[in-house]
Amino acid sequence: MDRMFRTLAFWTGIFAVMFYTGDMLEASLICLAQTAFFLAIGFLKLSERMYVYIFFSYLTVFMIGFTYYTSFILQPGFH
């Protein structure tokens, strides 16, 4: 499981670079923070059960934040 978190760090790093080149600084910083989180967790050598708990808690926090953003902050329509 530690390799999977390092793989997630790689892909969020790729997204951070692509968001940065697309002049989307906020999204780039969010992906950069996720990259640092996944990379740090990937080198802790935890048990597989703990990695699963961390991943499910990450998904829960993401879905709560995404739902809040789309419900209360996002302005529908194109500018």
Say what the pLDDT of residue 79 is. Answer: 64
Say what the pLDDT of residue 42 is. Answer: 94
What would the DSSP string read from start to end of 7-50?
Answer: HHHHHHHHHHHHHHHTT-HHHHHHHHHHHHHHHHHHTS---HHH
Q: Which of 40, 45, 43, 52 is nearest to 12 (CA)?
A: 40
pLDDT single digits (tens) 20-74: 999 999 999 999 999 999 999 999 999 999 999 999 999 999 999 999 989 998 8
Q: State CA 63 to chain mean position distance.
A: 11
d(CA 11, CA 2): 15
First-to-last alpha carbon distance for the chain, in angstroms, is 42
Confidence of residue 1 (pLDDT cuts 50, 70, 90): confident
Residue 77 has pLDDT above 80, yes or no: no
